[in-house]
Amino acid sequence: MLPRAVLSTGSLVLRAPAESDVEGMTATGADPVAARFLTSLPSPYTERDAREHLAVAARRWEEGGAEFTIAQNGAYAGGLRVSAPDPWGAVEIGYLVAPWARGKGVATAAVRAVTEWLFDQGVHRVELRVAAENVASLRVALKAGFREEGRRRDARETRDGRLTDDVLFGRLALDAGEEAPPYLPLLEGGELTDGVVRLVPIEPGDTEDFHRMMAQPSVAAYAMGPAATLEEIERRCRNTGYWWVTAQRAELAIRDAESGAFAGHVQLAHVVPVLGQAMVGYSLLEEFRGRGFMTRTVRLLVDWAFANTPLHRITAGTNERNRASHAVLERAGFTRECVHRELFPAADGTRADDVQWVRLRSR
Ligand SMILES: CC(C)(COP(=O)(O)OP(=O)(O)OC[C@H]1O[C@@H](n2cnc3c(N)ncnc32)[C@H](O)[C@@H]1OP(=O)(O)O)[C@@H](O)C(=O)NCCC(=O)NCCS
């Protein structure tokens, strides 16, 4: 059983929920972001739900868990719950920050403080489960010293009845709990642009354009493996934020800066932090070719990567026959490095050589 405690960290106090929280809880429960990611919240959320929650919170303490209101300067700023320990003594934390208190480190500080308090109470393992699309919460987990332990496929259902992935994080009492600086920081302002092309993280709304592009014969000719279905592409578009914040890869849509139309896709994949290496890959819709879009795109992304990440080598692998791609890389400052013989399998059973290119961080 956890002792009833009041915790304080910086400007925050974590204490048991009280009648005075009802107004803040009602406004927070009715927030669309909360409704989207906390599907167990009643929707629409009313004052009555907030009052009922006070009773649930009291019971949670009795059942061996904990429930806190996060107060900032005396005002309601969010809530945090701790499950009762599982048979092996691990507990799970869930949290919610009021819309007016977000983006100031409230969730990170509260999760960190409660986790460390739980370790002081003898808990050895704390877990978080975060929807793969909930980028703010994925960042909170990493900033609070948790380690990613895997993506659980189709582990939860969205409000509209779609099965979706979540990400399991764990922090052990033995872990140092330090926050590693993000290897791939998110784009400042959410985009990269040179006024002609605009690069923005891929999102589910790009699914149909992406699928159409992958089916164009000149794109399909250089794609690996069987063609992805619309569903597989949608899943890929939903996981962009997860891959990005866990430094697995950055996936961006290329948009025509003038019209906003989807023009193609570019990614930094195969990120190997220990080597400081990643690989750029790209495809452009046929109707946007011949305007220098991909050269601009590769330059923008690679310049951003060298300015904002520790990457030292960015490579590109190209089919030996793909002259247009070779020209893009030459114009974007890459040099030919080597040939991987018979690397690329083709549908007809033949194999093609891969010409590898590289651009190094300039010293
Ligand atoms: C997730 C949530 C708790 C974060 O609370 P918060 O107090 O704003 O969190 P913090 O300020 O500690 O950190 C938020 C991080 O996410 C980033 N972020 C916020 N919104 C973002 C977005 N839409 N896309 C990408 N990153 C985002 C912030 O920049 C910050 O990261 P940084 O320090 O690297 O810049 C809050 O958004 C919330 O209550 N959401 C609804 C409920 C919910 O999702 N709960 C968690 C369920 S697992």
| Distance of CA 141 from the midpoint of ligand 1 (Å) | 10
The DSSP code for 20 is: G
SS3 298: helix
**What pLDDT, on the 0 to 100 scale, is given for residue 363?**
64
Nearest CA to ligand 1 atom 43: 96
Question: Please, what is the average pLDDT of the chain?
Answer: 96
Q: What percent of the chain has pLDDT over 90?
A: 95
- Express each pLDDT in 93-136 by its tens digit: 999 999 999 999 999 999 999 999 999 999 999 999 999 999 99
- Express each pLDDT in 265-293 by its tens digit: 999 999 999 999 999 999 999 999 999 99
Q: Is residue 113 within 6 Å of ligand 1 at its C-beta?
A: no
Over range 7-11, report the average pLDDT.
97
**What pLDDT, on the 0 to 100 scale, is given for residue 324?**
95
Judge contact between 137 and 37, C-beta under 8 A. Answer: yes
- Residue of 137, 158, 186, 242 to test ligand 1 pocket, by largest number of atoms within 8 Å of CB: 137
Q: Is residue 99 within 6 Å of ligand 1 at its C-beta?
A: no
Over range 307-319, report the average pLDDT.
97
> Is the pLDDT assigned to residue 315 strictly greater than 90?
yes
Nearest CA to ligand 1 atom 9: 107
**What pLDDT, on the 0 to 100 scale, is given for residue 204?**
94
**What pLDDT, on the 0 to 100 scale, is given for residue 224?**
83
| Distance of CA 359 from the midpoint of ligand 1 (Å) | 34
Q: What percent of the chain has pLDDT over 70?
A: 100
Domains of the chain, start order: 7-172 (3.40.630.30), 188-360 (3.40.630.30)
Over range 243-249, report the average pLDDT.
97
pTM of the model: 0.94
DSSP 204-270: GGGHHHHHHHHHSHHHHTT--SSPPPHHHHHHHHHTHHHHHHTTS-EEEEEEETTT--EEEEEEEEE
**What pLDDT, on the 0 to 100 scale, is given for residue 230?**
96
> Is the pLDDT assigned to residue 344 strictly greater than 80?
yes
**What pLDDT, on the 0 to 100 scale, is given for residue 226?**
82
**What pLDDT, on the 0 to 100 scale, is given for residue 222?**
87
Contacts of 349 (CB under 8 A, 6+ apart): none
**What pLDDT, on the 0 to 100 scale, is given for residue 329?**
98
- Residue of 37, 68, 140 to test ligand 1 pocket, by largest number of atoms within 8 Å of CB: 140
Strands 91-97 and 125-131: what pairing?
parallel
SS3 357: strand
Judge contact between 254 and 297, C-beta under 8 A. Answer: yes
**What pLDDT, on the 0 to 100 scale, is given for residue 351?**
94
> Is the pLDDT assigned to residue 196 strictly greater than 80?
yes
Q: Which long-range contacts (CB under 8 A, 24 or more apart) does 188-194 make?
A: 192/252, 192/300, 192/301, 192/304, 193/257, 193/300, 194/257, 194/296, 194/299, 194/300
